[in-house]
Amino acid sequence: MKTNEKKTVLITGTSSGIGKDTALFFHNKGWNVAATMRNPKAETKLNQLENVKCFKLDVCDFSSAKSAIADTIQEFGRIDVVVNNAGVYAIGPFEAATAEQIKRQFDTNLFGVMNVIKAALPHFRNNKAGMFINLSSIAGRTVSPLQTLYHGTKWAIEGFSESLQYELRYYNITIKLIEPGLIKTGFSNVAGNTLMILKDRSLSVYDDYADNIVSNLIKGNAEGSDPKGVAKVIYTAATDNKNKFIYPTGKSAHLVLFLGKILPRNWFHKIIEHALQK
């Protein structure tokens, strides 16, 4: 076990995208980093860095989360911040979703966060200190077409996180939310195993409406902001010592959230739908 005075962050989903960039950012700022992923043996960059340790963690498995927490404490002595980043993205008509796709969306994006938090809470309570930073999305406060499952998980994360603050503040445990807009991540790549397109050949009735919107959603993510910017915001949330709960970031995030707040709901829906149907 290391006994240095560096702070330690545990990050889920660090094999690519926001998770990997966040691990690198914290490392460059001098933190100990527990970079967790489902297959750490496949990682070739993070495991070469000093004070970075790659651990196996499947967020859908509570015992895996407990093991990763224990391994991190054994390696670095303590955990100061947990970043719940791991996620998948399902787009397409809800009727076309299989039971397996629905389960995977919620198991990863919602129940996975709960698994990691529940596994880390005893350590934070005993230390009377700690912070959870949960990756939500502007999709947790607004809605757009053909993202029913994704919106469902992100709206749930927002409510879960905000309510959980009440019972944890007495133990000096903080929760913060990051709300990215369009970000260049594996969500734009089916081969990356984080994007699920919901499509059923027997439901071609949806094709005229869905195909163009799905294509534009994928394109929007591919052309989004650099995930390094999100990593910087996550680090800011971890270190600014502010009593701040929500951190929007990324292309148009503030504008979309502002429009969603001030416009009548049907106006906002029409604007979003029109933009995605172009």
Q: Looking at the annotation, which residues are catalytic?
A: 136, 150, 154
Residue 30 zone, left/alpha/beta (φ > 0; ψ -120 to 50; rest): left
Partners of 55 in beta bridges:
36
Partners of 53 in the β-ladder: 34
Question: Which token pair is 13?
Answer: 């989903």
Contact (CB, 8 A) for 181 and 138: yes
SS (H, E, C) the chain: CCCCCCCEEEECCCCCHHHHHHHHHHHHCCCEEEEEECCHHHCCCHHHCCCEEEEECCCCCHHHHHHHHHHHHHHHCCCCEEEECCCCEEECCHHHCCHHHHHHHHHHHHHHHHHHHHHHHHHHHHHCCEEEEEECCHHHCCCCCCCHHHHHHHHHHHHHHHHHHHHHHHHCEEEEEEEECEECCHHHCHHHCCEEECCCHHHHHHHHHHHHHHHHHHHHHHCCECHHHHHHHHHHHHHCCCCCCEEEECECHHHHHHHHHHCCHHHHHHHHHHHHHC
